[in-house]
Chain A
Amino acid sequence: MSMPAGMTILVVAAALIYFGVAQRMLDKMRLTDTQALLFIGLMVAGSFITVPILSGRTNIGLNVGGTLVPLGIVIYLLVTADSAYERIRASIAAVVTAAIIFGIAQYTDFDPSSGAIIDPLWLFSIVAGIVGYLAGRSRRAAFIAGVLGILLTDVVHAVRARMANMNTTTVLGGAGVFDAMVIAGIIAVALAELVGEARERLTGGPGVPDGLEREGEE
């Protein structure tokens, strides 16, 4: 969009905060600053690449920045998880998140006339954050739940659409770095971080030195 100064500043400020928060949140999952920046760079660059998977009445595609890169991070997190138990918990969190999102999506269309209280973009992210944190009590589980939660519901939709030969277009992660999948992952970690830290601070904490990772703890 061609834009005047006020709008340009608004868009740039929002983008900078978004990328800043994204970098911080990746940072919180045992990724170094460099790795976090690299992943964000890959997501932005990958946003411009969409690979068609199926075409015809049911159009299904896959955006590299919005799907493959966050999925790569999820796999990295699962591989480097402390224990098999943690991996299982994170995976269960992802499935539960997907199930809740799918359930909510069947109930309402979030149209202006539906009276929905909060936009699905934010609601689904919050669901992922709560479930991920409760299931794993960890930022990484929250991220995995957020990303995989949205991805799984998209995949379920794509399969159902294909089977029903439905006239629809689904590009997994199609909005790239601004896709619901990435946003859900980031908000989920932020929520886990804020809630987790506040709770531990209020209850005196688990006795772990300040700033150390607390993933996988009761």
Chain B
Amino acid sequence: MMRRVFLLALIITALLFAVGRIVLAERLDGGYYTLVDEDGRSITMTARHLDIGDAYIAADNKRYEVVAISGDEVQVRYTETITLPEVDSSAFRTQVGGTSPSGERVVGIYHTHNDESYVPSSGTESRDDGRGDILQVGRALADAMENLGFTVIWSDNSHLPHDGQAYTRSRRTAMELLEKEPITLIDVHRDATPPEVYETEIEGQPATKVRIVVGRQNQNREANLEYAKRIKAVADEEFPGIIEGIFDARGNYNQDLGPRMILLEFGAHTNYLEHAQQAAEFFAKVIPAAAGIEPGQAQAADKEIGAPAGRSVFWILGIAAAVLIVYLVINRQGLGSITSFFRREAGLGGTSDDDPGQENG
């Protein structure tokens, strides 16, 4: 009994230590990290704590991997220049001209962190009443897409407080929206960096840049990363400079619920709400072409996003098979039992050394 209590205490200590590391990792001091490549060039800045192995696709499509972290400086190594998918922008122009999309294609928008606000516009970075500025950015995106003729379901569900269970709560909102069968589901956020990281001017208008975040810890990562690249391809073509980059980040962000689930960060708390809204209006024209909602785009989008999805199936099945084999070896003492397991599962009869739960199977 004492041993167990000791073990439990050990685990809890380890967990708290891990969480402590997470807390320490947050830049609450107003500071930020600078990503520096092998030649000492500054790639970008971020308040996000990075870990070795994290990947970042910069605005110029160069992909970097974090190799070392020292103080405020994050050493990154250039790995490759990625090629973005070619997205035909003629359809984009038709759609911008006001042509209605064919069929009823739905877009879902929600906010996991509905308290997020922009300090220069409203004097606070977070609103306790859950009516953060970020809702207005989501609303601007929804309105602009509706004006283009799309059906948008925008949820202003509040997932307060802004704590570690916000994603668990917003998962339920995401599921609710998924019942309406949207072609894409967008979780609209803002970042927490110095203003210059996101400040830009698009078509002569001040706007924030947009950072795309893909969660690595789920089976849809490849499909969602491909979708992110399509978004960047369309945006680079039509609104050069609007994309800050793509984070291939740790986490899941409820993207396990389906392909074409994406997290977008419109500026940071240090930028103006109005500029983020402007970016959202531009983005309303990017999403349909990237997601394949508009005429002439569906087939290409399906093919491009579908291919990595298909590849993911193989590794999912591979992992499942590996886990099953390890489990069987551990559980049934030896490789011979695997044969009997599969024979029994296939209904060919087998040994009866299995767990009692199988008796009715």
The interface of chain A, by Cβ under 8 A from chain B, is: 1-7, 9-11, 13-14, 17, 27-34, 36, 59, 63, 96, 100-101, 103-122, 124, 127, 130-131, 134-135, 137, 150, 153-154, 157, 161, 166-171, 174-176, 178-180, 193-194, 197-198, 201, 210-213
B250 and A28: CB pair below 8 A? no
Per the bound structure, the CA–CA distance linking A168 and B161 in Å amounts to 8
Interface residues of B in 166-210 (CB under 8 A from A): 166-169, 171-176, 178, 181-184, 189, 191-193
Interchain CA distance A130-B4 in the complex, whole Å: 12
Known: A1-B181, A153-B165, A197-B330. A119 touches B252 (CB 8 A): yes
Residues of B within 8 A of A134 (CB): 4, 7-8, 11
Cβ A167 vs Cβ B169 within 8 A: no
Determine the chain A residues whose CB is within 8 A of the CB of B46 once the complex forms.
Answer: 113
Q: B310 contacts which of A10, A166, A168, A201 (Cβ < 8 Å)?
A: A10
**A2 with B160: CB separation less than 8 A:** no
User: From A176, which residue of chain B is reached at the shortest CB distance?
Assistant: B175
Evaluate contact between A112 and B263: CB separation under 8 angstroms. Answer: yes
A109-B11 contact, Cβ under 8 Å, with A6-B309, A11-B258, A171-B172: no
Nearest-neighbour CB distance to chain B for A21, whole angstroms, equals: 8
Most buried by A among B247, B249, B259: B259
In order of increasing CB-CB distance, the 3 nearest A-B pairs are: A115-B49, A174-B172, A6-B306
CA distance A124 to B302 in the complex (A): 34
Interface assignment of B220: CB less than 8 Å from any CB of chain A = yes
Once the chains bind, are A115 and B160 in contact (CB under 8 Å)? no
B77: Cβ under 8 A from any A Cβ: no
Contacts of A168 in B (CB 8 A): 130, 158-161, 169
For B238-269 the 0/1 string (1 means CB < 8 A from A) is 00000000010111111011111001010000
Q: Give B49-80 as 1s and 0s: 1 = Cβ < 8 Å from A's Cβ atoms.
A: 11100000000000000000000000000000
Most buried by B among A29, A150, A168: A168
Total B residues in contact with A, Cβ cutoff 8 Å: 104
B312 on the A face (CB < 8 A): yes
Known contacts A10-B219, A108-B22, A211-B353; can you find 8 more A-B pairs with CB under 8 A? Answer: A1-B183, A27-B357, A63-B172, A100-B15, A117-B51, A194-B330, A201-B333, A212-B356
Which chain B positions have C-beta within 8 A of A174? 169, 171-173, 175-176
A119-B215, A167-B130 as given contacts; A109 in contact with B157, CB under 8 Å: no
Closest approach, in angstroms, between the C-beta of A2 and any C-beta of chain B?
6
B171 & A169 in contact (Cβ 8 Å cutoff): no
Partner of B356, one of A124, A171, A211: A211
Q: Pull 13 A–B residue pairs with CB atoms less than 8 Å apart, ordered by A.
A: A10-B310, A27-B355, A32-B361, A107-B20, A108-B164, A109-B166, A113-B46, A114-B25, A121-B171, A168-B130, A168-B158, A168-B169, A198-B330
Task: Give chain A's interface secondary structure class.
Answer: helix
Chain B residues with Cβ below 8 Å from A3 are 259, 302, 306
CB neighbors of A among B18-56 (8 A): 18-23, 25-26, 46-51
| Residue pair A120, B332 in contact (C-beta under 8 Å) | no
Given the known A-B contacts A3-B259, A157-B165, A179-B172, are A10 and B22 also in contact in the complex, defined by CB atoms under 8 Å?
no
CB proximity of A194 to chain B, nearest CB, Å: 7
Contact A105 B360 (CB under 8 A): no
Question: Do A197 and B331 touch across chains, with their CB atoms under 8 A apart?
Answer: yes
Interface string of B264-307 (1 = CB under 8 A from A): 01000000000000000000000000000000000000110111
Task: With CB as the reference atom, state the residue of chain A lying closest to B130.
Answer: A167
Verify A114–B252 contact, CB threshold 8 A. no
Q: Does B316 contact A (CB under 8 A)?
A: yes
Q: Measured between alpha carbons, how far is A102 from B357 in the docked complex, in Å?
A: 34
Query: Is residue B346 contacting chain A, with contact meaning CB distance below 8 A?
Result: no
B162 in the interface, Cβ–Cβ < 8 Å? yes
Asked if residues A104 and B19 are in contact (CB atoms below 8 Å), the reply is: yes
| Least Cβ–Cβ distance between B303 and chain A, in angstroms | 7
Interface string of B104-130 (1 = CB under 8 A from A): 010000000100000000000000011
Residues on A with beta carbons closer than 8 Å to the beta carbon of B342: none
Q: A33-B358, A113-B191, A134-B11 are in contact. Are A108 and B302 (CB under 8 A)?
A: no
B217 on the A face (CB < 8 A): yes
Measured CA separation A109–B100 after assembly (Å): 40
Contact A118 B164 (CB under 8 A): no
The residue of chain A having its C-beta at the shortest distance from the C-beta of B310 within the complex is A6
Does the CB pair B354–A211 fall under 8 Å? yes
Across the interface, which residues of A come within 8 angstroms of B157, CB to CB? 59, 169
